[in-house]
Chains A and B, each alone.
Chain A
């Protein structure tokens, strides 16, 4: 390995050749360089034709800028003050705001079966909010796919292909044995930890969003260390679509069933389980898993789309 590294290092054809021809940098300090650049700009600005062209536009632009800045600042201040005036009183003066909080804290464990009150809130009392957040993630993935995905109708130009080859040889990490060895040790731990966070959302801090983020980060590291070809064997666009659709559909149907059966899950007949056990909290555990799958797919999809323009497999 060392010899290969040295060969690569001392070869006349290095990675840089063709992109940047080495130019001898004059030995000047940074302040001197700044001074030279500033004087050059000044000299350019002082030419009569440039001066005339800039002068008119600059004066007009400056006065317009001042007026717009002043008006927008005053308008923003007024809107903010008006909004603050509209909000209700807080604290002991307004008992309505305390009622909900007291209900969550005192009856949350009994009504949701989750030791972690936050999970009980976001996945039971306010599950529609979390459903919307999951759909926002899904929509964001779709939008990025519309903008960045490369298919047969949207090929790269010749220049972009050249650029991609050059940058990929720069930043391709997958051929590095050090990274491969460390990742072979680290990635199982990361994925296991993500699953632990995902499954323990009702008992300890964590849940769908954080667990899914850890899983997605593990996948990103995996693809960086072992190349996209390895990931493509089990994670394609089709798999990603199926996972996301099944998760969101399950979430929607399960929560819709609970909401239609009666307020506060009275007639839903979903067992709450023993608080503190893994299978407890009624629907919170499966909903956590669903949200985690959506978040993980979205994170890895973003990375893959930004990096190479599609998820899984070639065009």
Chain B
């Protein structure tokens, strides 16, 4: 009985992960602007990967393998946002038409629509 409960928990979480990965793939190919595509890729990298590793940890129980899996997802969650941050920074720095796509929050509740070059 306990094995069946564990199996169904793992299955439900894996289905969630698959849904996240499908969302990621569709978004990556359907969006046109780079920031939107990065957001779509981030869904799979954070939520999908977390779900997969969580289900694997539940399936294998608490042992050395699950510790390694936890470390894997920890390092992935640490490093993946940093690379995304730099990609977006380069995009803001190098795209002169960034204000056609993005609206920046000026910090006081107002939005700054465009920048005069």
Kindly supply a per-residue 1/0 record for chain A positions 1-32, scoring 1 wherever the CB is within 8 Å of any chain B CB and 0 otherwise: 01100100110100111001110010000000
A177 to B21, CA, bound (A): 31
Interface string of A141-178 (1 = CB under 8 A from B): 00000000000000000000000000000110100101
Contact, CB under 8 Å: B104 / A9 = yes
Q: Quote the shortest CB–CB distance from A250 to chain B (angstroms).
A: 34
Residues in chain A near residue B107, CB distance under 8 A: 2-3, 6
Question: In the complex the two chains form, is B78's CB within 8 Å of A182's CB?
Answer: yes
Chain B residues in 8 Å Cβ range of A2: 107
Residue from the list A12, A173, A176, A182 in contact with B79, Cβ < 8 A: A182
- Say yes or no: is A189 at the interface (Cβ < 8 Å to chain B): yes
With A6-B106, A179-B86 in contact, is A186–B78 under 8 Å at CB? yes
Is residue B97 within 8 Å, beta carbon to beta carbon, of the partner chain?
Answer: yes
A185: interface (CB < 8 Å): yes
Q: Interface range on chain B: under 10, 10 to 19, 20 to 34, or 35 or more?
A: 20 to 34
Contact check, B75 vs A12: say whether CB atoms are below 8 A apart.
no
B63 interfacial by beta-carbon distance below 8 Å: no
User: Complex Cα distance A179/B86, Å?
Assistant: 9
Bound Cα distance from A90 to B14, whole angstroms = 46
Does the CB pair A173–B86 fall under 8 Å? yes
Q: Which of A6, A170, A173, A189 contacts B75 (CB 8 A)?
A: A189
Per-residue contact bits, chain A 184-196, to B (CB 8 Å; 1 contact, 0 not): 0110010000000
User: Across the interface, do B93 and A170 meet the contact criterion of CB distance under 8 Å?
Assistant: yes
- With A and B bound together, what is the CA distance between A178 and B92 in angstroms? 17
Question: CB of B62 within 8 A of chain A?
Answer: no
What 5 additional pairs, Cβ within 8 angstroms, besides A16-B93, A176-B85, A182-B79? A3-B107, A22-B117, A178-B85, A185-B78, A189-B75
B: which residues have CB within 8 A of A?
Answer: 75, 78-79, 82, 85-86, 89-90, 92-94, 96-97, 104, 106-107, 112, 115-117
